Amino acid sequence: MSDWVDVAAMTDFPPGSVRSVDVDGAQVAVFNLDGTCYAIEDVCTHDGGILTGGEVEDDVVVCPRHGARFCIRTGRVLAPPAYEDVAVFPVRVEAGIVQVRDARWDERGF
């Protein structure tokens, strides 16, 4: 089972914020959308560029390189040139700290 990784204190992570953290070797973008945190893999499935730094419109992040669009809540790709969804990760707030983990390891039985 993978461990929970600290992202930030909730008080230091206001709505509209995004942080990129390493979770078991995967770069994960954690977004605070109106007080609820969501996490997706910080990689555009079109060409491997990072998504953090891209414009956020409601619950959509736009890849800063070529404009592919992804739903922050579900990881679903919404516009080309990407055609594959990005992975989503569980997020929790524990003792005021936003945490994320890579549950894909759990699903594989590692």
CATH at 18? 2.102.10.10
Mind listing the pLDDT tens digit for each residue in 36-63? 999 999 999 999 999 999 999 999 999 9
Question: Who's near 11: CB < 8 A, 6+ residues apart?
Answer: 96
In this prediction, residue 84 has a pLDDT band, given cuts at 50, 70 and 90, of very high
- C-alpha 92/C-alpha 110 separation (Å) is 22
- The number of distinct structural domains making up the chain is 1
pTM more than 0.75: yes
The range of the structural domain enclosing residue 84 comes to: 5-108
Task: Please report the DSSP string for 72-96 in residue order.
Answer: TTT--EEETT--SPPPEE-EEEETT
User: What Rg, from alpha-carbon coordinates, does the chain have?
Assistant: 13
